[in-house]
């Protein structure tokens, strides 16, 4: 009887895992450079946590079940609610708290390209700072991450501000802003006609609908488009526009302004965003959003804590993998080993093991024969594991207190005395 | 409304996580030195996988449920069945395959000291080698791991061999070996009288029970005790004894013989072990087994594959944490930051951000103000995050194109020219 893994779950064997580890390592190293610290939170949480944040519909797309003690629990689809749970009770934390965490997340959804049931995700958040400086830092980490992954030039970060958007809607006395935001959020999936129909269904008259359409069509270089917008809303939303201009200035200092655009159609449906929102897109438009995030200053309150402002993003491994592979920058990792120690026969095993032990003490990656194979089979294996050097330990050489060191790339061999070999190879 | 995490699940905030990461890193680095490669397999698998390996009783102690598609699934309590699943279908793998993997595992059990519902576990296995060399390498990795964690001198690795044990039981024509093994496995928890009662219940007569008791009481230095055993079983189990002697020789070459003892009461109840078995114990005997493992050459066959011999162990983070803390060797990780860049006021932000950007390009961990705080509040925060240096960027100094660099440990301050600061500090 053979078994299959579950649909949407992946097995990573050594070469594949080495590539994925390299990608995750790069993402984490950028966060570390920015002073983010690793945290880790449970994979399983009370289902209520997710209902509070996202409502019951979203919980439907999770792995949720009753545990043996009758508790309703959910395999986390994201880490944000757990973070809010912790922050709602921790009083002693110094602010700001800059946290990252890479772990598995689960969603029960139809699997498709870039959408799996189990995936890695890295969350990067700043808690305790409501400043534009924090907004800028989050965008800068994100831009730097894209650059580090080799896709800096093929993506764009589209940003908007929910407060700004609300003020802009206020300008034309648009009511029902929540519903309107939902329609805007759906816009990408709708035809132009459907968009207007949906606005009408949300109780928006024709004139106002045109205004909304004009606004959400604003899309382009941040500095230019903010000026356009300012003209359009003449006198409204001054504070929000000021903040956006400050953001532009800071993104410029961070050297990432050129990859960021204003896109007024980005509102990120989730109710809990309170300011900056952003999504990263493939410029060619072939892939779904690569990642997204924003400011959510009220979330911790939902979990019973005092106000802890927050801004952050999460990046999963599935879509970025597709993009990196398309661009030819997904790392090709080959097996690598420093030294393979090859006992020619069993009676050379003792000396071989001694060399192995000494080389590992020097922190080298070392393998030796575990299958009592002949010399040529061992050399094949040494080649397979990417050994840089092979030390051949044979009885004949040993009689003269020597071993042979073979450089695998050049094929060059030389005899080295047994007591010098560790020093020379290590 | 405040929320609690589930019982037996842990939150790791930055300092705690840094310590745990350091411990996991050390465990993984030893495996890497021995040439093990990282793999990663799903956290959720079909429940059948675990029933095949361990029987339904053990599945009772897992998080198992029906997913929304009606599949019976289990949050993995261990990774071995998933490994067997993969190996049963993969034909192209070069042997031996040396795999490690650290990930979370889950058990639905009563929580107690050292026993949690979610824990980290590292699995280390050699697949495709049935040799004593592979056995020796696994024991050597394990011993080296204990040394690297700073507990090499306070633990002992107790080993036995299931084949040897069976042959020894054969010597006195003991039938019902499976039941007898189970009783032996329980022995530690039983009084002496209970042990004999249980043997009687397993259909073992008094004389044979005494023989079994004599055998399972053998415990001590490997080389000595093997000689004792050989005398006791005179002429039986020759092949198995020979293998054990070879193992002793190899462990000696690896320099780990002194931490390994023979303990004939170690049989590891799980049916699937086929040769070497071992457990690591705290010498003081205060803690439960720290980890265990052995050879399981038939497991992959259960999953429908061709014979893929295997030997390995798994180490969880809970008991080792208790041991390391008791011994005072659990790492104390403090927050560390290379540089904190301190803008004295908002009008120095641009220059400050430029310095931040340049230093991060040099791979330094750098933070700056995200809360528009005054100088002394910023210095407090810089101190909290363990900044080594603080670069104070103020308008007055900037007029002369200078900034102040403060060494946080000595308190020493010096003025450095703005265009040199990155080079000097970086």
| pLDDT tens digits, one per residue of B197-247 | 999 999 999 999 999 999 999 999 999 999 999 998 888 899 999 999 999
A270 band by pLDDT with thresholds 50, 70 and 90: low
B43–A99 C-beta distance less than 8 A: no
Is residue A144 within 8 angstroms of chain B, CB to CB? Answer: yes
| pLDDT tens digits, one per residue of A335-374 | 999 999 999 999 999 999 999 999 999 999 999 999 999 9
Q: In terms of domains, do B238 and B343 share one? A: no
- Chain B residues whose CB is inside 8 A of the A91 CB are none
Which tokens in the block code for residue A180?
Answer: 């309107």
Q: What is the arithmetic mean of pLDDT over A175-190?
A: 88
The pTM score is 0.95
A5, part of any domain = no
- Chain B residues whose CB is inside 8 A of the A108 CB are 67-68
Q: In terms of domains, do B349 and B320 share one? A: no
B171 band by pLDDT with thresholds 50, 70 and 90: confident
Q: In terms of domains, do B383 and B304 share one? A: no
B370–A137 C-beta distance less than 8 A: yes
| pLDDT tens digits, one per residue of A272-298 | 899 999 999 999 999 989 999 999 999
A20–B40 C-beta distance less than 8 A: yes
What CATH number has the domain bearing residue B353?
A: 3.40.50.800
Distance CA A337, CA B259 (A): 28
Beta carbons within 8 Å of B146's beta carbon, 6+ residues apart: B152, B155, B157, B259, B280
* Number of domains comprising chain A: 2
A232, part of any domain = yes
B26, part of any domain = yes
A350–B42 C-beta distance less than 8 A: no
From B285, B302, B326, the end of a domain falls on: B326
| pLDDT tens digits, one per residue of B301-313 | 999 988 899 999 9
B16, B35, B338: which to substitute to probe chain A, counting the most A Cβ within 10 Å?
B35
A7, part of any domain = no
Strands (E), B93-252: 97-106, 118-127, 155-161, 219-221
Q: Which of A48, A144, A365 sits opposite B33 (nearest CB)?
A: A365
Range of the domain at B314: 14-167+222-326
From A279, A306, A326, the end of a domain falls on: A326
Q: In terms of domains, do A311 and A350 share one? A: no
| pLDDT tens digits, one per residue of A8-65 | 999 999 999 999 999 999 999 999 999 999 999 999 999 999 988 777 667 889 999 9
CA distance B341 to chain A (A): 12
Q: In terms of domains, do B316 and B404 share one? A: no
Is residue A306 within 8 angstroms of chain B, CB to CB? Answer: no
Q: In terms of domains, do A342 and A317 share one? A: no
B1–A367 C-beta distance less than 8 A: no
B345, part of any domain = yes
- Chain A residues whose CB is inside 8 A of the B129 CB are 370-371
Count the residues in chain B.
426
Distance CA B233, CA B227 (A): 10
B54 band by pLDDT with thresholds 50, 70 and 90: confident
From A307, A326, A345, the end of a domain falls on: A326
- Chain A residues whose CB is inside 8 A of the B304 CB are 1-3
- Does pLDDT of A123 surpass 70? yes
- Chain B residues whose CB is inside 8 A of the A71 CB are 6
- Chain A residues whose CB is inside 8 A of the B18 CB are 37-38
Q: In terms of domains, do B307 and B344 share one? A: no
The fraction of chain A above a pLDDT of 90, given in percent, is 84
Q: In terms of domains, do B264 and B345 share one? A: no
Q: Is there a contact between B264 and B219 (Cβ–Cβ < 8 Å)?
A: yes
Q: In terms of domains, do B268 and B135 share one? A: yes
DSSP 8-state symbol, B234: T
Q: In terms of domains, do B142 and B274 share one? A: yes
Q: In terms of domains, do A124 and A268 share one? A: yes
Is residue B32 within 8 angstroms of chain A, CB to CB? Answer: yes
A354–B253 C-beta distance less than 8 A: yes
Does residue B96 have a cis bond before it (omega within 30 degrees)?
Answer: yes
B172, part of any domain = no
Q: Which of B277, B360, B287, B275 is nearest to B319 (CA)?
A: B287
What CATH number has the domain bearing residue A42?
A: 3.30.930.10
Beta carbons within 8 Å of A44's beta carbon, 6+ residues apart: A73, A74, A75, A76, B6, B9, B63, B75, B106, B118
What is the pLDDT of chain B when averaged over all its residues?
94
Taking only Cα atoms into account, the Rg of chain A, rounded to an integer number of angstroms, comes to: 28
**3-class secondary structure, B215:** helix
Is residue B21 within 8 angstroms of chain A, CB to CB? Answer: yes
A104–B3 C-beta distance less than 8 A: no
A348, part of any domain = yes
Q: Decide the pairing of beta strands A64-66 and A72-75.
A: antiparallel
A94–B254 C-beta distance less than 8 A: no
B14–A39 C-beta distance less than 8 A: yes
Distance CA B229, CA B212 (A): 12
ipTM exceeding the 0.90 mark: yes
CA-nearest residue to A93 within chain B is: B13
Q: In terms of domains, do B30 and B112 share one? A: yes
B175, part of any domain = no
Is residue B326 within 8 angstroms of chain A, CB to CB? Answer: no
């Amino acid at each position: 009887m053979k078994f299959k893994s579950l649909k949407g779950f992946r097995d990573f064997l050594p070469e594949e895992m080495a590539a994925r580890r390299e990608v995750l390592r790069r993402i984490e190293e950028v966060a570390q450079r920015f002073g983010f610290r690793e945290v880790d939170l449970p994979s399983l949480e009370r289902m209520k946590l997710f209902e509070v944040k996202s409502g019951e519909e979203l919980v439907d797309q999770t792995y949720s079940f009753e545990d043996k003690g009758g508790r309703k629990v959910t395999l986390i689809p994201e880490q944000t609610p757990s973070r809010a749970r912790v922050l709602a009770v921790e009083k002693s934390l110094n602010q700001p708290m800059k946290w990252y965490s890479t772990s598995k997340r689960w969603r029960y959804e139809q699997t498709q390209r870039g959408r799996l049931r189990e995936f890695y995700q890295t969350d990067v958040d700043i808690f305790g700072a409501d400043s534009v400086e924090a907004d800028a830092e989050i965008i800068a980490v994100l831009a730097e991450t894209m650059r580090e992954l080799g896709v800096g030039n093929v993506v764009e970060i589209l940003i908007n501000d929910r407060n700004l958007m609300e003020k802009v809607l206020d300008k034309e006395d648009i009511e029902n802003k929540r519903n309107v935001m939902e329609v805007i959020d759906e816009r990408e999936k709708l035809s132009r006609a459907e968009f207007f129909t949906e606005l009408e269904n949300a109780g928006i008259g024709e004139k106002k609908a045109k205004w909304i359409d004009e606004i959400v069509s604003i899309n382009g270089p941040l500095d230019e488009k903010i000026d356009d917008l300012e003209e359009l809303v003449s006198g409204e939303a001054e504070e929000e526009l000021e903040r956006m201009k400050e953001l532009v200035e800071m993104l410029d200092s961070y050297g990432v302004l050129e990859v960021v655009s204003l896109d007024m159609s980005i509102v990120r449906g989730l109710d809990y965003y309170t300011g900056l929102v952003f999504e990263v897109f493939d410029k060619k438009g072939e892939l779904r959003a690569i990642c997204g995030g924003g400011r959510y200053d009220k979330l911790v309150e939902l979990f019973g804590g005092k106000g802890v402002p927050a801004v952050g993003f999460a990046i999963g491994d599935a879509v970025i993998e597709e993009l990196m592979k398309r661009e030819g920058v997904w790392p090709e990792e080959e097996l690598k080993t420093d030294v393979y120690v090859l006992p020619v026969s069993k009676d050379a095993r003792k000396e071989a093991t001694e060399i192995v032990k000494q080389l590992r003490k020097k922190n080298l990656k070392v393998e030796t024969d575990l299958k009592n194979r002949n010399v040529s089979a061992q050399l094949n294996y040494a080649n397979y594991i990417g050994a840089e050097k092979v030390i051949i330990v044979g009885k004949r050489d040993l009689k003269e207190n020597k071993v042979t060191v073979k450089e695998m790339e050049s094929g060059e061999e030389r005899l080295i005395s047994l007591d010098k070999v560790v020093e020379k190879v290590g």
